[in-house]
Amino acid sequence: MLTLLQQPLCPLSRFVRLILAEYDIDARLVEERFWERREEFLILNPAGTIPVLIADGIPPVPGAAIIAEFIEETRPVDEGVNGLLPMESGGRVEVRRLASWFNDKFHAEVSGPLVTERVFKRHMTLEQGGGPPDTASLRAARHNIRYHLAYIGWLARSRNWLAGDRLSLADLAAAAHLSSVDYLGDVPWNEDEAARVWYARVKSRPSFRPLLNETLAGIPPAKHYADLDF
């Protein structure tokens, strides 16, 4: 059985959980307080970041993008199940470009700061970087999300799914990051109808249910968070 070292509201961890759920692969979820920099954890991933996937017979797999490639390359190929990364080169480029857009760019500009400031910092000591949320950082993230939402809306209006005809890693990455931000009530859904409709489609997939049922102690989700008709 696989083990995923993760945090419930970490968008990169959620991306991996969605991939595993889409492929119906079981994994044990273990919360890792990566900010504590446990020695045993740093041996598994010297970079000190989550998520990390532990599988038998191979080194620990660190990072959303590398885990996604690993799962794609090793999943049992089932005739009824479409892969989340297309077969042709052009399609692979576009899916990887958009997955990286969300896992790297959106994470740096929006979901990373919001989750760090509003969630992770509560658990950190001052030496670990804890303290009250940095309001300038929150303000920047809430400003930045608007152009990302417009970009998602533009993609959703021109294609069936974000990277093309089929659901792919691009949709799961975008939806994972939005789900963390939406839990915190920071997605201005009224700004882009096409983005909202696309998110409602991803949100209603069975793979999404575990994320919607998750509630953190002391941080209740936004009222509409688990609502499929928001």
Binding stretches for a second copy (CB under 8 A): 46-47, 57-63, 65-66, 69-70, 73-74, 89-90, 92-94, 96-97, 100-101, 105, 151
In whole angstroms, the minimum distance from the beta carbon of 68 to a second copy comes to 11
In whole angstroms, the minimum distance from the beta carbon of 130 to a second copy comes to 21
Q: Which residue number, 47 or 136, has a Cβ lying nearer to a second copy?
A: 47
Q: Which residue number, 69 or 214, has a Cβ lying nearer to a second copy?
A: 69
Concatenated DSSP letters of the chain:
-EEEEE-TT-HHHHHHHHHHHHTT--EEEEE--GGG--HHHHHH-TT--S-EEE-TTS--EESHHHHHHHHHHHSPP-TT---SS-SSHHHHHHHHHHHHIIIIIIIIIIIHHHHIIIIIHHH--TTTT-SS--HHHHHHHHHHHHHHHHHHHHHHHHSSBTTBSS--HHHHHHHHHHHHHHHTT---GGG-HHHHHHHHHHHTSGGGHHHHT--BTTBPPPTTTT-S--
Q: Which residue number, 94 or 214, has a Cβ lying nearer to a second copy?
A: 94
In whole angstroms, the minimum distance from the beta carbon of 216 to a second copy comes to 28
Q: Which residue number, 11 or 63, has a Cβ lying nearer to a second copy?
A: 63
In whole angstroms, the minimum distance from the beta carbon of 104 to a second copy comes to 8
Q: Which residue number, 37 or 105, has a Cβ lying nearer to a second copy?
A: 105
In whole angstroms, the minimum distance from the beta carbon of 57 to a second copy comes to 7
